[in-house]
Amino acid sequence: MGSFIKDIENIIYTGKLIGFNEAMELAKTEDLDELFSSANRIREKFTGTRVDLCTIMNAKSGKCSENCKYCAQSAHYHTGVQNYPLIDVDAAIKLAKENEKEGVHRFSLVTSGKGLSGQDFEKVLEIYKVLRKETNLKLCASHGIISYEQAVRLKEAGVSKYHHNLETSREFFPKICDTHTYQERIDVIKNVIKAGLDICSGGIIGMGETMEDRINMALEIRELGIKSIPVNILNPIKGTPLENIKKLEPLEVLKTMAIFRFLIPDGFIRYAGGRSALGNLQHLGLKAGINAALVGNYLTTVGNKISEDIKMIKDVGLEVN
């Protein structure tokens, strides 16, 4: 298997892309050291040593109309999550400046719900305009299902990248949500690309999907031309339908992320929510193809301190700049 991994690595160096079958063969390997080392070399070849850091603000929490089975903010479940309306501009500026001072590159407002409209959408546009003036951060946005016209207005307000996860494969998606479709998510991504914004789109692993589902999601992401791919690890939340699901083993998580590197050699494979499940193996992902991270606190869970993440990145020989 070691020679197969090396052969695949060499194919990728020629500029060719591997497909489903090759990725599934990689998934069968028990030689994780070689898989991780190969993924790390591919990362270095195509994206260098820089690690991209982003942070988010939970700008509107709870009471979401959608029934995504993993989500603490869905109104369909009783999770005890804090509910509050859209935050004001002062709160956003304060957190953004704190994160910028810590060394973060990107900052995103994230709002619960199927999408934003009316006064909430107008208000969030004004917040982005102020953030653009008062910080040097690259601005991202995550506001659910939006139209092409809304995407254009976000760009005009200073947003450069829109986040909208596929979450999982097309085949598995109906098993985790049926209040909107997978195609609606695809349509949002196409609207955003048409508007001239970059896209950040990944998913959640550990929801009961198979490795085939994960690979199919990565292939769909690649087909859409997406280069920022956040990988969340499910943190089962009490009150949701997935509260009792068995957690993935850390090495299974790292294997998945390494395979994503083989599939999208020049992408930013991004540590996202739930990586605390890796415990003291978090640093290993940075030597197995990971080159980006969501840092600070997440939507409904607490993350690592930004300073701790920067130290971990530098300790494995990578750079934050």
The predicted pLDDT at position 2 comes to 64
The predicted pLDDT at position 299 comes to 47
CA 216 to chain centre: 16
The predicted pLDDT at position 297 comes to 57
- CATH number for the domain formed by residue range(s) 2-315: 3.20.20.70
Tell me how far CA of residue 132 lies from CA of 94, 97, 137, 152, in angstroms: 13, 11, 7, 16
The predicted pLDDT at position 305 comes to 82
Grouping H, G, I as helix, E, B as strand and the rest as coil, residue 224 is coil
The predicted pLDDT at position 301 comes to 44
Grouping H, G, I as helix, E, B as strand and the rest as coil, residue 207 is coil
Mean pLDDT (10-residue bins), the chain, 321 residues = 88 97 96 97 97 92 88 86 88 92 91 91 96 96 96 97 97 96 96 97 97 98 97 94 94 97 97 90 96 74 75 94 68
Distance CA 146, CA 150 (A): 6
